[in-house]
Amino acid sequence: MKIHNKIRVLILTILLGFAIMPVVVTAQAQTASQAQAGTKPPQDKTLLDAFNTGGMLMYPLLLCSIGTLAVAAYCFLNINSRKMMPKTQVESIGHYMQQRDAASAYQLCNSQPNVFANTVSAALLKVNFERDLANKLSMEQAAGETLANEETKLNMWVNYLNVFATIGPMLGLLGTVTGMITSFDMLAAGKSEPSDLAGGIGEAMITTAAGLFVGIPAMFFFFYFRNSLAINVAEIQKRVTFMLDVLSGELKLQGATVETEQSQA
């Protein structure tokens, strides 16, 4: 648990850095472009001025940055073991499974819905103690379909991070091209002074930096949450399979046997 907490703190730190980094990136890029023009940066230069230097492509890059933050925050809150399979709920459902109390287990799943609970409740709808192994085959099929559906829903959000990781650098590259075109147009018009070329070069540098700034963290979050989702889904599948074995009577637990004997006595 301590390792997971440290990882969460690291992610929150990265998100915070991701939120404040545009100030540093745009300011440094603006300073560099003005240095190429041979002028000193004015003291009253604001972040908005640097943002405007990047041109119209800074607006979709800003949207990509906000989208990455929002999706990463959503994944951080929803793709973890505490959210997908709460420990207390798993233990309670396991206790009902040992007692073969499918009704109570189903009621508990519906009262606290999550990925694990939804998977178990779908399986319990197929339970039939009059059939062989309590209709275990149908329960496993229903659980597998539900778990795959839950994974697809969460994976959709994770894939949005991949979209932002792809679009961000491409928009930055487009800004590089348009900025250089602006500078070459100045040269074609006979304007070769550094101050004439500074606008296009500044646009190219700022959009390139902003595109990479969006793409790199988005790619990191994509791989992290994709792996986290796969690990949690595999653990849920393992636990659900074990509980269905217990409910069907295919797997006999020593604790369950002792409790049964005590209740009969």
Over residues 151-176, the pLDDT tens digits come to: 999 999 999 999 999 999 999 999 98
Over residues 68-117, the pLDDT tens digits come to: 999 999 999 999 999 999 999 999 999 999 999 999 999 999 999 999 99
Q: What is the pLDDT of residue 253?
A: 66
What global pTM score does this model have? Answer: 0.76
Question: How far is 254 from 261, CA to CA, in rounded Å?
Answer: 11
- Asked whether the predicted pLDDT for residue 237 surpasses 90, the reply is yes
Q: What is the mean pLDDT of residues 208-230?
A: 95
- Asked whether the predicted pLDDT for residue 219 surpasses 60, the reply is yes
Instruction: Name the residue with higher pLDDT: 5 or 240.
Output: 240
Q: Which domain does 11 fall in, by range?
A: 2-264
Q: What is the pLDDT of residue 191?
A: 76
Q: What is the pLDDT of residue 264?
A: 41
Q: What is the pLDDT of residue 265?
A: 42
Q: Which two tokens stand for residue 7?
A: 């990882």
- Asked whether the predicted pLDDT for residue 143 surpasses 80, the reply is yes
Query: What residue type is 231 in one-letter code?
Result: I
Domain tally for the chain?
A: 1
Reference 67, options 208, 184, 222, 191; nearest CA is: 222
Q: What is the mean pLDDT of residues 29-40?
A: 50
Q: What is the pLDDT of residue 158?
A: 97
